[in-house]
Amino acid sequence: MPTLPKRLLIALAVLAALLAAWLGFAAWYDHHQRANERPATYSALIEQAGRGEISSITFANGTGHALAADGSRYRVVMPVTDDLLKELRAHAVAISFEEGPGGLMAQTVGVLDRAAPFVVVALLIGGLLMSGGQFFGMGRATRVRPEDTNTVFADVAGVDEAKEELRETVQFLKDPRRFAMAGARVPKGILLVGPPGTGKTMLAKAAAGEAGVPFFAASGSDFVEMFVGLGAARVRSLFKTARANAPCILFIDEIDALAGKRGESTSHSEREQTLNQLLVEMDGIVEGGEVVVIAATNRSEMLDPAVLRPGRFDRHIHVSLPDVAGREAILGVHAGRLTLAPDVCTRTVARGTPGFSGAELANLTNEAALSAARQGRVVVTMADYEAAKDRVLMGTERRSLALTAHERRLIAVHEAGHALVSLRCPQADPIHKATIIPRGGALGMVVRLPEGDRVSVSRAKLMADIAVAMAGRAAEEMAFGPDHVTTGAEADFRAATDLARRMVTAWGMSEEIGFVAHAAAEPGARSERTAWRIDEEVRRITDEGMEHARRLLRSNREALDGIAQALLERETLSGGEIAELADREQERATEAA
């Protein structure tokens, strides 16, 4: 809901006060007038009129208000008839009538009732004029003054390459003449592209803090309206405000809501008019001060090509998920406000959180602090970080869930199958933890964490992941028989099928289908025969993964039973404990043989 401008609110308050004062005066005046009127009878009033003592009379709602020649006032309840009027006229009494309740109060209410529509229109027009085009939210943006910008590049970790690209913009804002003397033109439009939570907004704010210039922040959705012309007016107002405060940084978050491709089915005239106004402002047709526009998006492919051409957003900076060194730096920034125990190692936490964004790492740190606070401590330990990681990755514990002994054993066997196959596949990621404590939507879980950040994945690694996914169902079959398997492997099958399908349709890892990309094909773009062959290849790969899992479990049956029993007893096992159990059971089986 847009807020009204302060000056308009003051004007409305003054108008309301004046109206209340006038209504109060009208009510007092009417009461004073009525208080001076003396009640009289019908016959007495006719007698006075016959003696010439009544000069005028006003009729309203069956009541006559008479004025005597000496200034006295009388109030008489009397019907208005033709005979009465003839008699009053015969005695030279002036006669008048009022519609509805008489008096100043009634007249005021009538005037206000008739003037209300014109007052509302006047207020709207006045609001537009007084707010400089900011009524209905036009041009609204959060402004941060240079002295209030506390964020600098040192506060943003894990995105060193992006910071280096922005340093040139900072130098331009500090000393634009240096670049002008060399005949250089620094890009006025910078597009930050990256997954959610990677720090794009913080980067833009830090650039303003480093340069010591005002920072204006708006969202692409702020300019989207159903009324034609409002969005374009907002863009004009925003850029006008930014130029008046130049040099400055104008940040537009989620710009894809404003600058999406034209001609799409969801496009309409208001959206296109707003986008056209943005393009005009970016072109610099309206001259002004040094304004650097920084925009952020998670989906650059959704932007209109006209926005991305040189001269507008001509510099694209990719803000990727941080690597292990970046995650360690980010954890150091967020942990700086905590009191850490000596056993906390941010490097270890960083290695155990691959794929986490900066926002997710901030949430992890906060969850660790909450874990310490719940136990009445102010010092955050490594155990708090582990508990926070379990909570983030697996969800909250559901210890209140009632499970039978058979269900607990079935879950333990299922998770033991995942853990054992993952342990025996050299290409699989190392096991971090296995648990049969229900968390979130899962009854149990095996968490695997890669040792490093991968930029590509081999076919052997993908086949190992499929085998690990199939191992839960394979273990159930081995321990309880094919007729007693459960629905617990639904998510495993979904994950394995998704991997297999991408291997076939996107990554060219099927000799039958060949090196053809089918993943991005439109519905109906491939023939029925090709679709059938793809389904057959997906089935072949998942079956191959299932057979691999069964072979490993058959050759390590004692280890499977030992891990399942340990899970029933302790509920949670670390990766090291699982490896130790598997090796010990394997040695026992070898000795027995």
Cis preceding-peptide flag for 187 (omega within 30 of 0): no
Please state which CATH class domain 6-105 belongs to.
alpha beta
Rounded-to-integer distance, Cα 156 and Cα 170, Å: 15
Please state which CATH class domain 138-318 belongs to.
alpha beta
Q: How much is the pLDDT for 252?
A: 87
**Structure token pair of residue 113:** 């009732």
Whether 198 has a binding-site annotation, put simply, is yes
| R_g of the chain computed on alpha carbons | 40
Whether 197 has a binding-site annotation, put simply, is yes
Q: How much is the pLDDT for 55?
A: 76
Rounded-to-integer distance, Cα 297 and Cα 253, Å: 7
Catalytic (active site) residue 415: yes
Q: How far is CA 479 from the centre of its chain?
A: 47
Using an 8 Å Cβ cutoff, are 459 and 503 in contact?
Answer: yes
Amino acid identity, position 400: S
Pick the CATH number of 324-394 from 1.10.8.60, 3.40.640.10, 3.40.50.10800, 3.20.20.70: 1.10.8.60
Whether 268 has a binding-site annotation, put simply, is no
Pick the CATH number of 405-592 from 1.20.58.760, 1.20.1560.10, 3.40.1280.10, 3.40.50.2300: 1.20.58.760
Whether 414 has a binding-site annotation, put simply, is yes
How far, CA to CA in Å, does 228 sit from each of 72, 233, 273, 402? 64, 10, 8, 58
Q: What is the pLDDT along the chain (593 residues), one digit of tens a residue?
A: 444 556 666 777 777 787 777 667 666 666 555 556 677 777 777 777 777 777 787 777 667 777 777 777 777 777 677 777 777 777 777 777 665 444 544 555 555 555 556 566 565 555 554 444 444 444 455 666 666 667 888 888 888 888 888 888 888 888 777 777 777 777 778 889 988 888 888 888 888 888 888 888 888 777 765 555 677 788 888 888 888 887 888 888 888 888 887 765 444 566 777 888 888 887 764 454 578 888 899 888 888 888 888 878 878 889 888 888 889 899 998 888 888 999 998 888 888 888 888 899 999 999 999 999 999 999 999 999 988 988 887 778 777 778 889 999 999 999 999 999 999 998 998 888 899 988 877 888 888 877 666 778 899 999 999 999 999 999 999 999 999 999 989 999 999 999 999 999 999 999 888 888 886 656 567 788 888 999 999 999 999 999 999 999 999 999 999 999 999 999 889 888 999 998 888 788 777 76
Q: Indicate the domain borders of the chain.
A: 6-105, 138-318, 324-394, 405-592
Whether 261 has a binding-site annotation, put simply, is no
Task: Check for a shared fold between 324-394 and 405-592.
Answer: no
Rounded-to-integer distance, Cα 131 and Cα 136, Å: 10
Pick left, alpha or beta for residue 394 (phi over 0 → left; psi -120 to 50 → alpha; otherwise beta): alpha
Whether 492 has a binding-site annotation, put simply, is yes
Using an 8 Å Cβ cutoff, are 553 and 424 in contact?
Answer: no
Q: How much is the pLDDT for 12?
A: 72
Burial track 472-499 (b if 16+ CB lie within 10 A, e otherwise)? bbbbbbbbeeeeebeebbeebeeebbeb
Whether 289 has a binding-site annotation, put simply, is no
Which residue do the tokens 């099958």 mark?
Answer: 493
Rounded-to-integer distance, Cα 479 and Cα 487, Å: 15
Q: CA triplet 287, 293, 299: central angle to 5 degrees?
A: 140
Of the residues 165, 270, 386, 415, only one is catalytic, namely 415
Task: Please give the order of strands across the beta sheet that includes 431-435.
Answer: 445-448, 431-435, 572-574
Q: How much is the pLDDT for 103?
A: 52
Rounded-to-integer distance, Cα 124 and Cα 8, Å: 9
CA nearest neighbour of 538 among 495, 492, 504, 489: 504
Using an 8 Å Cβ cutoff, are 395 and 387 in contact?
Answer: no
**Structure token pair of residue 58:** 């006003």
**Structure token pair of residue 221:** 């959705």
List, in sequence order, every residue forming a beta bridge with 260; answer none if it has no partner: 303
Rounded-to-integer distance, Cα 500 and Cα 511, Å: 13
The model carries a pTM of 0.66
Rounded-to-integer distance, Cα 21 and Cα 255, Å: 49
State the DSSP code for 2.
P
**Count of CA atoms in the C-beta half-sphere (13 A) of 188:** 22
